Amino acid sequence: MAQLRDGSATDTLLLLEHPHVFTMGKAASPDHLLWTDAERSARGVEVVWSDRGGEATYHGPGQLVGYPVLDLARFSLTIPRYIQLLEQALIEYLSELGIDSAAGESGFTGVWSGGEKLAAIGIKLSRSLVSHGFALNVSTDLEFFDGIVPCGHAEKRPTSIEKISNRVINLEAAARGFSTHFAALLGADLFWIPPELLGQDRNQGAELRV
């Protein structure tokens, strides 16, 4: 973030797959954790308290997690417009797969299909710099969402691309599909960084240049 602020780094989109983890945003509370310590330990789920906005969510295998690290001033974007672009890029990618989806189901942030949540969004703002981002359920084991109150709303259930379409989508294909739409909506050029240069096998990255 400091390098982005002083101009020595470029806007970057990190795309990755987490191990099992419940992340707790600024609006989360301990009662959003429904599984006991023992249950979480047995299932290999870590709990991480985060500085992003939002409440509790789950990240894990089969889920595409994206962390755009951007200077919104460079793209002349407000926070509401930026969130709309994230949602729109996800909707456009899902449409490619033949999945009808929409943003803001019942006024909630994220991307939804048939009343169920396909993608969660939670960001952090530091002056004009944003970080954190989105989580798209590709082939996620949805049972892990039972261990939390997802985004503070127990009645709002998650779904996945695999559940809706009965298709198994490779995560790298999902990463590349989403990022193409995201870059186009930003009006940026996309330059891929090989995973080995980021130091972790399941991470990918792309630079976004205007």
- In this prediction, residues 75-79 reach a mean pLDDT of 92
Which amino acids are annotated catalytic? 151
pLDDT in tens, 174-201: 999 999 999 999 998 888 887 766 655 4
- CA nearest 79: which of 111, 26, 125, 112? 125
- Rounded Cα distance, 21 and 19, in Å: 6
| Residues 6+ away with beta carbon under 8 Å from 155 | none
For residue 123, the cross-strand partners are 132
Contacts of 25 (CB under 8 A, 6+ apart): 50, 52, 53, 54, 55, 56, 57, 122
Neighbours of 156 (CB within 10 A): 18
Would the pLDDT of 80 be above 80? yes
Neighbours of 151 (CB within 10 A): 24
SS3 for 167? coil
Q: What is the band of 92 on the pLDDT scale with cuts at 50, 70, 90?
A: very high
3-state secondary structure of 2: helix
Look at 94-98, 110-114, 121-125 and tell me which has the smallest mean pLDDT.
121-125
CATH class label, 2-209: alpha beta
Structure-model confidence comparison of residues 107 and 102, the more confident one: 102
**Considering the entire predicted model, what is its pTM?**
0.88
Helix (H, G, I), strand (E, B) or coil at 140: coil
Q: Report helix, strand and coil shares of the chain as percent, to nearest 5.
A: 35, 30, 35
H or E segment at 23?
A: strand 21-24
Of 120, 128, 126, the closest CA to residue 90 belongs to 120
